Amino acid sequence: MAGTMAWLRDQNPQSRMQARLGQWYLGWLRLRRNPLAMIGLAIIAVLLVVAAFAPWLAPYDPVAQNLRGRLLPPGTEGHLLGTDDFGRDILTRILYGSRITLYIVALVAVTAPVVGLVIGTVAGYFGGWVDEVLMRITDIFLAFPRLILALALVAVLGPGIENAVLAIALTAWPPYARVARAETLTVRNSDYIAAVRLQGAGAARIIWGHVVPMCLPSVVIRVTLDMAGVILTAAGLGFLGLGAQPPLPEWGLMISAGRKYLFEQWWVATMPGLAIFVVSLGFNLLGDGLRDVLDPRSAGK
C-alpha cells in the first residue's frame, strides 16, 4: 500500500496514466478534507445503494393498496413513516421513488451537458458567425424560465417520465454551453493549441482532444450543482401531473397526492418532501466540494 501511495504521489510520473491517476488521488485527498463534501458524497452513495437494493430494503409492495390501513401515522402497525390515502407504505414508496429520481438525474446528466459542451466549444473555437448563431439560440433558451419551458414542452409531448426527461434536458443545456464557450475562449489562442494546429491537426481533433478536456472540470462542477435543480424540476412536473403517472412512486407525485392532507395527515406529503430536500442538499454539498478540487484557481489554497 505504501508503495502504491508513493507511486501516485511521484512528482515525476513515468506515463500519462500515472500522471492522471496521481491527479485523481490528490484530488480525492483534497475532497476528503472537506467534511461537507463528504457528507454530500455519503448522501449520494446512500441514494445509489437504496436505488440498487430497493426490492430488498422495502418492507412492502410500493403499489399494493390497503384501504383498511390508510393514513396511518408514522410508527403504526409496522409502517415506519406511515401510510398514504390508499394505505401504501410511504417508506417503501420513497425507497422505490429513489430509482425514478436517479433515472431522471442520470439521463439528464448524460444528455444536457454533452449538448451544451459541443455547442459551447464549437462556438468558442470558431467564433464569428458560428459563435453568433449558436449563442443567440442559447440566449433564446435562457430567456425562458426553465420550469415554464419544461412545462410547455411536456404539454406538447404529453405526460410521462421519458417526455419529462427530454423536456428537462432540452431546457438544461444552455448554461453548459455558456461555461464551455467561456473556457474555450481562454484556451483557443494558447501556445499549445497553436503548436497542435501547426502539426496539421484539424478543428475536430483540436476541439475533441485538447479543448474539451480543458472544459470538462467546469462542466462537471456545473452538472453536480445543477442536479438539485433537475430533481426539483422533475418533482415539479410530477406534482403537476406532467411527469411520472400514478401509481408510480415518484416523489413529486407523492407530494401532490398528499397536499390535501397536509394539515391533519402531514406525513403523507412531508416525508417525500424531506427526501427531495436531503438528496438535493447532497448534490449541492458535493458540487461545492468538487469545485474546490477541480477549480485550478483554488489549487493553491
Q: Where are the domains of the chain?
A: 84-298
The C-alpha cell 398514504 sits at 84
Q: Is the pLDDT of residue 196 over 90?
A: no
Higher pLDDT, 201 or 255: 255
Give the span between the Cα atoms of 124 and 138, in whole angstroms.
Answer: 13
Candidate from 84-93, 117-126, 153-162 with smallest mean pLDDT: 153-162
Give the span between the Cα atoms of 24 and 212, in whole angstroms.
Answer: 18
Quote the pLDDT of residue 297.
Answer: 53
Average confidence (pLDDT) over 212-235 = 89
Q: For 84-298, give the CATH class.
A: mainly alpha
Quote the pLDDT of residue 298.
Answer: 52
Quote the pLDDT of residue 71.
Answer: 93
Average confidence (pLDDT) over 108-130 = 92
- Distance (Å) of CA 37 to CA 216, 257, 290: 20, 33, 8
Would you say the C-alpha torsion 279, 283, 284, 285 has a positive or negative sign?
Answer: positive
Candidate from 11-15, 50-54, 112-116, 129-133 with smallest mean pLDDT: 11-15
Give the span between the Cα atoms of 108 and 104, in whole angstroms.
Answer: 6
3-state secondary structure 244-270: CCCCCCCHHHHHHHHHHHCCCCCHHHH
Q: Render pLDDT for 245-286 as a digit per residue (tens, 0 to 9).
A: 888 999 999 999 999 998 889 999 999 999 999 999 999 999
- Distance (Å) of CA 97 to CA 46, 50, 85: 14, 10, 17
Give the span between the Cα atoms of 216 and 208, in whole angstroms.
Answer: 11
Average confidence (pLDDT) over 203-215 = 87
Give the span between the Cα atoms of 106 and 89, in whole angstroms.
Answer: 26
Q: Is the pLDDT of residue 70 over 60?
A: yes
Q: Is the pLDDT of residue 12 over 60?
A: yes
Give the span between the Cα atoms of 191 and 77, in whole angstroms.
Answer: 70
Q: What percent of the chain has pLDDT over 70?
A: 96
pLDDT-based confidence at 186, cuts 50/70/90? confident
Q: What percent of the chain has pLDDT over 90?
A: 52
CB 184 within 8 A of CB 267: no
pLDDT-based confidence at 2, cuts 50/70/90? low
How many Cα atoms are found within 13 Å in the side-chain-facing hemisphere of 48?
A: 9
Quote the pLDDT of residue 301.
Answer: 45
Mean pLDDT of the chain: 88
Quote the pLDDT of residue 295.
Answer: 67
Q: Render pLDDT for 129-172 as a digit per residue (tens, 0 to 9).
A: 999 999 999 999 988 888 888 888 888 888 888 899 999 998 99
CB 238 within 8 A of CB 224: no
pLDDT-based confidence at 300, cuts 50/70/90? very low
